[in-house]
Structure 1
Amino acid sequence: MKLFKCQHCGQTLFFENTLCEKCGHKLGYLPDLGEMSAVEPDGANWIALANKSPESRYRFCANWELQGCNWMVPLEGDSPLCLACQHNQTIPDLSNADFHGRWQNLEAAKRRLMYSVLKLNLPRPTPGSGDPEPLVFDFLADPPDPSAPKVMTGHDNGLITISLTEADDAEREALRAQMNEPYRTLLGHFRHEVGHYYWDKLVRDRNDLEACRAIFGDDTQDYGQAIQRHYNEGAPPDWQNSFVSSYATMHPWEDFAETWAHYLHIVDTLEMASAFGISIAPDAMDVETEIDFDPHKVRRVETLIDAWLPLTYAVNSLNRAMGLQDLYPFVLSPPVITKLGYIHKIVHTPAGTTG
């Protein structure tokens, strides 16, 4: 993620902003330009100051009126929904104020995910595209009957389901503690589940299974049995030597999805660090980095890792100084870095290429 500036007054803006607090201009994100823009009304439409073309006009995503989106749609676009919201299939009953608030949290996390998807130029077919496996989201509440099965967050052939329970900070933190997880966030769920989707698109559909299996293991092993074994026995005691998380040990599909999520964590956070001009060179440690590059465009994964490790040492130390848990409570062993290298490779493999 990067920082933005108001085109009218120069105020620093953040990705979630909807109003410039300095000059009062409404704000909208232009996914076609990758810019947050101050906007001015032009009848029923809007002039985006970030777009230098005098003829360009925009409208807000239809979910803007529901306080669920701050992205914009070019006036000539076919859909009333923005590039992120076009992937929604089901949203909760917004007449329920609690559901509405949780849905807003879900949409905020989804927009950050879609920012990365767009920046990395990943395939993102919509339900109306004709693609047999479009990228689709269901945001579902548990049924009112407490004895009925609860909504499970997961992925199934392009459909990503996120439980509204995960959008409640207190409930999600309780689940994190109950499951003994070092990290559990809404954005993390999105990044993990979309990893399953891109296994389909970038590994299976590009016939790269052999190369993937050489790194992550045999994905043909029974998934149901793997789940049962994981919850019965837990992760192997030495899992940190080869996996980014204990959950990744369950099955090669989960290993891939967890590694994919961490790749997106790294790229997005490094871009934010670059936007702040962060450089790290502590006298007490033999590590240093100056994050002055676009992490979406680097050729070698080692460039990302060489910047990421010193940054995590710094931010974890800052969190500890505030009495908080580590911001990034993970260890990247050499085998995990190899897995991240595979993710980097397939992300930057041109569309249409097969293994």
Structure 2
Amino acid sequence: MITWTKLIRMALLYVALPGAILAESAQAQTCPTDARAQIIALEKKVEQRALAARQTPETQFIPNQDELFNQVHALMIACPDNTTVNKKLPFMFFGLSYLAETAMHRAAIADLAYTALMRAKADMQKTIENEQEPDALRKVVADERRALMADLNDFIIPAMFDYGAVSGSGFAAFSNQETPDTCPYADGERFFVFSELEAHGKILQNTLFGMMQSGYVLTEPPLEYRLKALRKACPDHAKQITVDMAVQWTLIALAAHDAPDATLVNGEPQPADLVETASAKARELLENYELMREDPVYLDKTLSMAERALHEGNKMDRTRLANNASQTLDDIASGK
């Protein structure tokens, strides 16, 4: 019997195969000398087409069968070390995502956008850390990088999350490129870490509320695989990430508790033990959080008073979040 998950995996394979063929042909190319001119020209085409699609939605857009998408993708593959190209690609993929009808296609495009974003971020980080560069340039690049990282929370994470929620599956679109092996955040980028975690939490909360309104529930956080990868790759942030994972499971338990008659997205009834299972996972994460080592920056006595006050505030927020999750789990268990 073909299940919902099998259908999704079959569809994913169908879409991914042309992409693999395209990547092989593109890898044989070298980055053109006029890559900057090409990416600027393609950027204008993407903007025009995305604007047109808002007026008259396209109905036949399949990424790997679309000429404009293939041109953008080919330049991405041919120019992996070109900062100008990589800086423009996330926003261009965001524009192309407007053309996609399915959550799977949007997630596939987001997967490519993440690769470009991390390439550009790494290049820009080198400039920022290069003390031989003028201070004015380093400041401009830092501002550009901050704006670029907004794409992660505003486009990439929501697209991947929607796909996971709709498919009921927790795996990536074309690849696992957006699950990092090394921490994608530098030591001084705690703001970006908190920003991503906040995006995960808000998206899950809004998705659960919307699904409950339609009579559906989730059985797992769709992007937990990324949070697990982040926790492993970024040990300094592991304690914070673990709390956020616990909160996500708490929200799933709460939604299932408040909507016992809600079904899964494929129409099947929710598991009878969903509330207990989700609650148990949340409690296990909270217990692990208590045993994990502290973020070294919270223990650094050499920081200024202002910096220490900021970090102390973050630490208190984390503790408050964990306590709220624990109290909610107690309320669920007592039937409140």
TM interval, short-chain normalised: under 0.3
Which one has the bigger strand percentage?
A: 1
TM-score by length of 2: 0.24
Q: Which has the higher contact order (CA 8 A, sep 6+)?
A: 2
Question: If the length of structure 1 is used for normalisation, what is the TM-score?
Answer: 0.23
